[in-house]
């Protein structure tokens, strides 16, 4: 058995595990194998500032090149891991070589879900996950006239906003009857539908894409099941992500649309941990939570590092997320699913408001539009189990911060 912690994956989660291990006093070897050829980089700007050309590639890199040496982290780029042998505690690399670990951390991320229709592999049908994907889309947006976005989720809508900004004609085809249906409340869905329509995008709901038709291998039109046809010189597919849990599954680890972990990032194998997009985290009520966010990557990574160094640091904080579209900042804390009451603070017309969601009188989630202060406050309230009444939320003069002063245990 080796004395190295091997981390598979060099995204936000993988990097954070390595650094948190050093911060927690881990003295022995730490090795990161990244499948991509890049040093760890920020992904959120790929569908935002980087896509628009506002953020140069150099600024996406999370750490400078000498940092790995300084922290004694062996970082190997462009080295996919092919298999795990949990019995002999070894991994096998792409070239067949093997390396022993004492503990293994899977931070293999997720990949875009493929569109299962004819023509999905045509040229100029793209999805967005990597730096290269974003660079490709950014280049295509410079010359594309007609952009069809399949899927009205966050990635699709952020790309739609960028495409409109570049002057492209944009159609968003959404399979459900509202945008962001999986993650947002109907009120937020409606707000974003209006926002994108006001900026010239055409949104078509209940659109079932039936096939993509090309000429000479390049996509030309997108057809829907109801017989409509939309011209396209670029098709961006944003229909969700799939956890990269194959290594874990083949090694016999418990997986359920992701590597199943507890809130300390422990998998079903005592020597293997997992963090970030590739996981499905078991919640206190037994349900599995699949999150694809920076917060999830960072928190699970820190929990994994703590567990590896003999401490319990469960990740139980309220999930949070953000999105930037057409100059509007959406921030979400907690969840609006299963809410039985909602109250608004601020003004929809001014694009400055917060929606507070309650269930059985208890705060469960808050979505804010251009109200970062409310977002930060909401996270504190949720994490401390504090709840305003629906009347207090509805009353703009009620200072929600006062709840923290009285409610937070010293």
Partner 1 sequence: MTKITFIEPQGAKVEIDVINGWTLMQAATSHGVEGIEAECGGSCACATCHCYVEGEQATRLPAPSNDELEMLDNVAAERLPNSRLGCQIRVTPYLEGLVVRMPEAQS
Residue 260 or 377: the one with the smaller Cβ distance to partner 1 is 377
Interface with partner 1, residue 53, by CB under 8 A:
no
Per the DSSP assignment, residues forming a β-bridge with 279 are 259
Which one of 59, 142, 206, 360 is in contact with partner 1 (CB under 8 A)?
A: 59
Q: From residue 237 to residue 266, what is the string marking binding to partner 1 with x (rule CB under 8 A)? A: ------------------------------
Sign of CA dihedral 289, 291, 294, 300: positive
Interface positions, 340-379, toward partner 1 (CB under 8 A): 370-377
How many of the other CB atoms lie within 10 Å of CB of 149? 29
- State the minimum distance, in angstroms, from the CB of residue 390 to partner 1: 23
CB 150 within 8 A of CB 222: yes
State how far Cα 36 lies from the chain centre.
Answer: 18
Residue 173 or 382: the one with the smaller Cβ distance to partner 1 is 382
- State the minimum distance, in angstroms, from the CB of residue 298 to partner 1: 6
Which one of 4, 52, 62, 328 is in contact with partner 1 (CB under 8 A)?
A: 62
- State the minimum distance, in angstroms, from the CB of residue 304 to partner 1: 16
Residue 57 or 218: the one with the smaller Cβ distance to partner 1 is 57
Residue 221 or 354: the one with the smaller Cβ distance to partner 1 is 354
Residue 224 or 279: the one with the smaller Cβ distance to partner 1 is 279
Number of residues near partner 1 (by CB under 8 A): 30
For residues 298 and 275, what is the distance between their CA atoms, to the nearest angstrom? 8
For residues 208 and 354, what is the distance between their CA atoms, to the nearest angstrom? 32
Interface positions, 12-51, toward partner 1 (CB under 8 A): 42, 44-45, 48
State the DSSP H helix or E strand holding residue 288, giving kind and residue range, or none if neither.
strand 288-289
For residues 247 and 93, what is the distance between their CA atoms, to the nearest angstrom? 12
Render 334-389 in DSSP notation, one character per residue. Answer: E--TT-SEEEEEEETTTTEEEEEEEETTEEEEEEEES-HHHHHHHHHHHHTT----
| 3-class secondary structure, 308 | helix
At a CB cut-off of 8 Å and minimum separation 6, what does 304 contact?
17, 20, 105, 264, 265, 273, 274, 275
Residue 249 or 316: the one with the smaller Cβ distance to partner 1 is 316
- State the minimum distance, in angstroms, from the CB of residue 190 to partner 1: 23
- State the minimum distance, in angstroms, from the CB of residue 12 to partner 1: 9
CB 400 within 8 A of CB 388: yes
For residues 355 and 370, what is the distance between their CA atoms, to the nearest angstrom? 12
Which one of 108, 110, 130, 295 is in contact with partner 1 (CB under 8 A)?
A: 295
Stretch that binds partner 1, among 54-62, 142-150, 174-182, 223-231 (CB under 8 A): 54-62
The phi, psi pair for 401, rounded to 5°, reads -65, -25
Which of 386, 381, 380, 353 shows the shortest CA–CA distance to 368?
A: 353
Which one of 61, 271, 389, 394 is in contact with partner 1 (CB under 8 A)?
A: 61
CB 86 within 8 A of CB 251: yes
Crossing angle of helices 154-165 and 131-143, rounded to 10°: 40
- State the minimum distance, in angstroms, from the CB of residue 383 to partner 1: 10
Interface positions, 318-347, toward partner 1 (CB under 8 A): 322, 324, 329, 331
Which one of 240, 380, 386, 390 is in contact with partner 1 (CB under 8 A)?
A: 380
| 3-class secondary structure, 292 | coil
- State the minimum distance, in angstroms, from the CB of residue 172 to partner 1: 23
Interface positions, 63-102, toward partner 1 (CB under 8 A): 63-64, 67, 70-71
What does the binding site for partner 1 look like in residue numbers (CB under 8 A)?
A: 42, 44-45, 48, 55, 59-64, 67, 70-71, 294-295, 298, 322, 324, 329, 331, 370-377, 380
């Amino acid at each position: 058995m080796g004395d190295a912690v091997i981390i598979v994956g060099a995204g936000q989660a993988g990097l954070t595990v390595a650094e948190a291990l050093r911060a927690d006093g881990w003295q022995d070897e730490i090795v990161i194998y990244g499948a991509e050829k890049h040093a760890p980089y920020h992904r959120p700007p790929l569908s935002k500032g980087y896509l628009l050309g506002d953020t140069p590639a150099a600024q996406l890199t999370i750490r400078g090149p000498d940092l790995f040496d300084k922290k004694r982290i062996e970082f190997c780029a462009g080295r996919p891991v092919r298999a795990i042998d949990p019995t002999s505690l070894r991994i096998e690399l792409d070239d067949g070589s093997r390396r022993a670990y004492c503990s293994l951390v899977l931070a293999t991320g997720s990949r875009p879900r493929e569109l299962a229709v004819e023509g999905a592999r045509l040229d100029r049908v793209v999805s967005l996950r990597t730096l290269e994907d974003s660079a490709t889309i950014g280049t295509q947006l410079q010359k594309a006239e007609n952009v069809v976005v399949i899927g009205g989720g966050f990635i699709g809508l952020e790309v739609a906003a960028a495409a409109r900004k570049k002057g492209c004609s944009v159609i968003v085809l959404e399979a459900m009857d509202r945008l962001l249906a999986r993650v947002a409340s109907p009120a937020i869905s409606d707000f974003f539908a209006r926002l994108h329509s006001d900026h010239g995008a055409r949104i078509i709901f209940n659109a079932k894409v039936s096939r993509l038709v090309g000429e000479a291998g390049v996509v030309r039109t997108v057809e829907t099941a109801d017989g409509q046809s939309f011209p396209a010189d670029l098709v961006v597919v944003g229909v969700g992500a799939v956890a990269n849990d194959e290594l874990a599954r083949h090694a016999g680890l418990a997986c359920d649309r992701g590597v199943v972990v507890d809130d300390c990032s422990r998998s079903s194998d005592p020597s293997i941990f997992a963090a970030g997009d590739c996981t499905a985290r078991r919640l206190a009520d037994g349900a599995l939570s699949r999150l694809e966010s920076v917060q999830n990557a960072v928190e699970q990574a820190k929990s994994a590092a703590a567990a590896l160094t003999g401490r319990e640091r469960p990740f139980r904080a309220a999930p949070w997320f953000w999105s930037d579209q057409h100059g509007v900042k959406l921030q979400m804390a907690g969840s609006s699913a299963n809410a039985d009451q909602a109250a608004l603070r601020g003004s929809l017309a001014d694009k400055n408001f917060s929606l507070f969601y309650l269930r059985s009188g208890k705060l469960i989630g808050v979505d804010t539009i251009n109200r970062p202060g409310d977002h930060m406050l909401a996270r504190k309230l949720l994490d401390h189990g504090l709840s305003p009444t629906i009347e207090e939320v509805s009353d703009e003069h009620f200072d929600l911060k006062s709840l923290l002063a009285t409610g937070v245990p010293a």
